Amino acid sequence: NRLRAVDIMQKEIVSCLECFLSGDIKSAYDSFESMLEPRTISRHIENICIPLSDLCNEDKPLFRVRKSDTPLTSRRDMFHIPFSQRHFVRAQRFSVAGLPCLYLGTSLYICWREMDKPDFDKLYIS
C-alpha cells in the first residue's frame, strides 16, 4: 500500500513538472493539488511537516521585508500585492508571475538577500 502511494505521488510530481515546464501553470497546480487529495498520501505528508510553532515563536521570529522607492505608510503596505494588482507580480525564485505571495525569512539577512540586496534606505522591515 505504501509502495503504491509512493508510485502515485511520483507520477503526479512528474505530471506537475511537465505541466509547469511547458508553461501550463494552472494544470501544474491542479496536478499538485490532486496528488495531495488521497488520504493515504496526505497522511504521509503530515509525517514530514514541521509545525509552524517550531519555526516561528518568541525565540524564533520571522521577518518580512519589502523594497519600495516610495514611503510605505500603512501596515497594509507590508502585505503582498493585492490580487487586484496581480499583473504587477513577477516570477521569482519561489513564486509564479501573477500570483501574489507573502515571503517570510528567519533572519533579516536572508530577507535582504532574497530581495536581491536592495539599498537599505529603500527597505521596509516587519
pLDDT given for residue 40 in this prediction: 62
Q: How far apart are CA 94 and CA 80, in angstroms?
A: 14
Nearest to 115 by CA among 68, 45, 81, 76: 68
Q: How far apart are CA 58 and CA 44, in angstroms?
A: 29
Residue 64's contacts (CB-CB under 8 Å, 6 or more residues apart) are 78, 102, 103, 104, 105, 111, 125, 126
Q: How far apart are CA 83 and CA 43, in angstroms?
A: 32
Tell me the average confidence (pLDDT) per consecutive run of 10 residues in the chain, 126 residues long: 80 90 88 78 69 81 90 89 85 78 88 89 92
pTM flag (> 0.85)? no
* Bridge partner list, 62: none
C-alpha cell recorded at residue 85: 494588482
Give the residue extent of every domain in the chain: 1-49, 52-126
Nearest to 92 by CA among 125, 67, 61: 67
pLDDT given for residue 120 in this prediction: 92
Q: How far apart are CA 69 and CA 77, in angstroms?
A: 13
pLDDT given for residue 115 in this prediction: 85
pLDDT given for residue 42 in this prediction: 67
